[in-house]
Amino acid sequence: MASGNPLFNEKAYEEALCRTQRCEGIMTLQGTINKAFFLLFLCMTGGVLGFRHYQAWGAFLIPIALVCLALAMTVIFTKKTAPLLAPFYALGEGLVLGMISASFSTLYDGIAGQAVTITLLVFLLMLFIYKTGLIRVTRGFSTGVIAATGAVALFYVGSLVLMFFGIHVSYFTENTTTNLIINIIICVIAALNFLLDFKFIDTLTSEVAVPKFMEWYAAFSLMVTLVWLYLDILRALGRGRSR
């Protein structure tokens, strides 16, 4: 089964399947959840530091973001590095989010706390929906979310390319009603990705044998979706406040 999160795919896990008896430990659902919450704790710790010391860290925003990107790419292509690099990624990404949140807070008081609360509630809501089966993660549902996620990715990449060549992209600069609606739709798509990710992890931990280090990789992948959701929720709240 495929997942909307590009870091969750059958090839990624197939490469790490325990095909012999040499695996030192097996990936479990509970272990993955524990590591996901640990990375979340590190991310929030970094967020607090970045938020409180925005003036001191502000000049390092782009370098830290680039380091986080390098760490993420390393984990994606060398999955065994996840236990070592995922915590550093979470902490660094937290610093970046904290600084971005601080800049938003200078314009909209209390917006960062609202965004954090909403993001965590959405994550827990998606986990509840998955556990209770309120939304069934069928093949058709998965295909739809994957297609929507791909469209969002193309939109972001295309926008960055256009802005690199000096072409104005209104979505990132103008707080229109249309942009707010698009923003909310993107938040919904990000949230739905959690259902696919939970299903994929559940399937792997119950039907196949995967090495223990993949718990870190899975937790890291969930963190990527969480960061995406938070940033778009923050942007949506900012647009709502500006109206």
The string of pLDDT tens digits covering residues 172-200 is 878 888 889 999 999 999 999 999 888 87
Q: Which long-range contacts (CB under 8 A, 24 or more apart) does 199-206 make?
A: 199/1, 199/3, 199/130, 199/137, 199/142, 200/1, 200/2, 200/3, 200/8, 201/8, 201/29, 201/32, 202/29, 203/1, 204/13, 204/27, 205/27, 205/28, 205/29, 205/32, 206/29
Strand partners, 26: 211
For the entire predicted model, the pTM comes to 0.84
HSE (side-chain half, CA atoms, 13 Å) at 118: 19
Taking the domains of the chain in order of start, what are their residue ranges? 25-242
pLDDT of res. 158: 87
CB 25 within 8 A of CB 211: yes
pLDDT digits (tens, 9 = 90+) for 7-41: 555 555 555 555 544 556 788 888 888 999 899 99
Q: How far apart are CA 2 and CA 167, in angstroms?
A: 35
Q: What is the mean pLDDT, run by run of 10 residues, along the chain of 243 residues? A: 50 54 70 91 94 85 91 91 95 95 91 93 94 90 92 88 80 85 94 90 78 90 93 93 73
